Amino acid sequence: MGKLYGKVAIVTGAGGGLGRAHALGLAAEGAKVVVNDLGGKRDGSGEGHSMADGVVAEIKAAGGQAVAHYGSVTSEADAADMVATAVKTFGRLDILINNAGILRDRTFKKMTHEEWDAVINVHLRGTYLVTRAAWDQMLAQGQGGRVINTSSTSGLIGNFGQANYGAAKAGIAGFTRVLALEGMKAGITVNTLAPAAFSRMTEDIMQEGQAERFAPDKVSPVVVWLCTDEAKDVNGRQFCVGGNRISLLSWQVLVIGEHNPKAAPWTVDEVDAAMKATREQWPRLLKPMEV
């Protein structure tokens, strides 16, 4: 019996790339899957049914259970309908993988409001809207749940030309950390995934030769594991996963100086001295491909 037998999952943006791999991986472990995809282009324009339908057909051909959903994560009604589809078709909802995404890369100097808004809308607001609907359902069921939110090293570390995308992805990581605290009592874990995979989103950044090394299905086993009972105590974490490498991204704290809280405030000169005295101990800034 699969590790996720009896569980029901929604994967947004599951018509291709990472979402497809996650949906196939979850189904292979016995989960019933709502395969959501708007079916548009990489920049978010257009829509269609063939992407979601194709992945549903693949899951069924492998002996699994799945249903297509063609709505947009940017629509409150579609988000509610995604959850309603899970409940109507499979009776419940245990797992939400927020994965849908678009790109509108541009240096900040040239970025338009439209490019900013479109990316924030799909990634940050889309993650919020679908989680909003799923959260209520998971709480009503009273049996916990799993939410995995897709961030990026672009948001966690930084990447040139992606101010809109990096802001959205950092927002998703912050959203995740708060929900991890709020879901704990109800047994709902919320974790962040920062993937690296060769997909239509990255095909012009990664070289052709990296397609196999960074195949999307090298990320999905971590997503599937996070949904199993083995990971019930893993909450509020950030996993960077790609090319068969799994990293946990966390924080280090360096106390730069401390005065008695009852004493007078630090002077700017004292701050300057403390900064300079510790500067060599500051952790160096990471580069995107390092994690």
Active site residue ranges? 165
Largest CA distance in the chain: 71
216 close to 20: Cβ distance less than 8 angstroms: yes
DSSP secondary structure code for residue 216 in this structure: G
SS3 assignment, position 118:
helix
Residues 127-186 that bind ligand NAI (CB under 6 A): 150, 152
Residue of the chain from 29, 37, 105, 115 that contacts ligand NAI (CB under 6 A): 37
What binding mask, one character per residue, do residues 55-84 give for ligand NAI by CB under 6 A, x or -? -----------------xxx----------
Report if residue 95 touches ligand NAI, rule: CB under 6 A: no
Considering the complex, what minimum distance in angstroms separates the CB of residue 85 from ligand NAI?
13
46-54, Cβ contacts within 8 angstroms, sequence gap of 24 or more: 47/72, 50/15, 51/15, 51/16, 52/14, 52/15, 54/15
Alpha-helix residue ranges (DSSP H) falling in 1-124: 17-28, 50-61, 76-90, 113-120
Residue of the chain from 101, 145, 166, 183 that contacts ligand NAI (CB under 6 A): 101
Residue of the chain from 10, 11, 51, 227 that contacts ligand NAI (CB under 6 A): 51
- State the Cα–Cα distance between residues 57 and 80, nearest whole angstrom: 24
How do 238-242 and 245-248 pair as beta strands?
antiparallel
Residues 234-273 that bind ligand NAI (CB under 6 A): none
Considering the complex, what minimum distance in angstroms separates the CB of residue 103 from ligand NAI?
7
- Tell me the number of residues near ligand NAI by CB under 6 A: 33
Considering the complex, what minimum distance in angstroms separates the CB of residue 255 from ligand NAI?
32
**Footprint of ligand NAI on this chain (CB under 6 A)?**
12-13, 15-19, 36-40, 42, 44, 51, 72-74, 99-102, 122, 126, 150, 152, 195-197, 199-202
